[in-house]
Copies of this chain bind each other. A is one copy, B any other.
Amino acid sequence: MTGSPRTPATSTLGFALLGLLARGEQSGYDLTQGLKDPVGYFWFARHSQVYPELARLEAAGLVQHTLVEQADRPDKKVYRLTGEGGAALTAWLAADTEVPRKRDELVLKAYSIWLSEPAASARMMRKHAQVHAAHLAEFETRLACLEREAGAALWQLDSKWFGVHAALRRGIGYEREYRDWCEWMAGCLEGEGVSRR
């Protein structure tokens, strides 16, 4: 009993998958879909990354799969969390989290925008404002749905809906701020800001 079974350091993607599996067993395909929405607002991956990661998690004893044969569809592997997997997940939750440094090409362009055609840049900013406004609207709709369906569970700290709620709130704030910045930029570029106000 000297030393644990040598878990070779699970990646963040691994914990994302464990977090999804903590809500119920799923196949690799389902997990890939789940990584679009709502986890996908802040983490995502393609199936080509998910399948090998699941194999690694299983080798580390954090998940297990059962083969489910299906008549009209391809057979699938349904994964579930093991006790060790649950423990690894809560240990990760308690561990320190790095503040991420972001890369954002649009803001990088803004830094060089003084070299560009203002009208063209304004159009680009308006387009991005629209995209973020659309994201915002979608998140707000989802939150409204959630309020109807989950009700008070949205606010219960030990409910899985609280997690969705938390992430959605972050998404809403982020998209609102991004939209406002794009619109402010567009306004400046269209001439409003030239003479200080």
Contacts and interface: CB of A to CB of B under 8 A. Distances in A.
By DSSP majority rule, is chain A's interface helix, strand, loop, or mixed?
helix
A39 to B, nearest CB: 6
Interface in A87-130: 89-90, 92-94, 96-118, 120-121, 124, 128
Contacts of A97: 105-106, 109, 124, 128
A157 interface: yes
A29 interface: no
Given A86-B115, A96-B124, 10 more contacts: A12-B105, A43-B108, A93-B112, A99-B106, A100-B105, A110-B166, A112-B163, A114-B158, A157-B194, A176-B177
A41 to B, nearest CB: 7
A111 B19 contact: yes
A149 to B, nearest CB: 16
List the number of copies, as a whole number.
Answer: 2
A163 B110 contact: yes
- The size bracket of the interface on A is 35 or more
A152 B114 CA distance: 14
Interface string A161-197: 0111011011001101110110011001100011110
Nearest to A36: B101
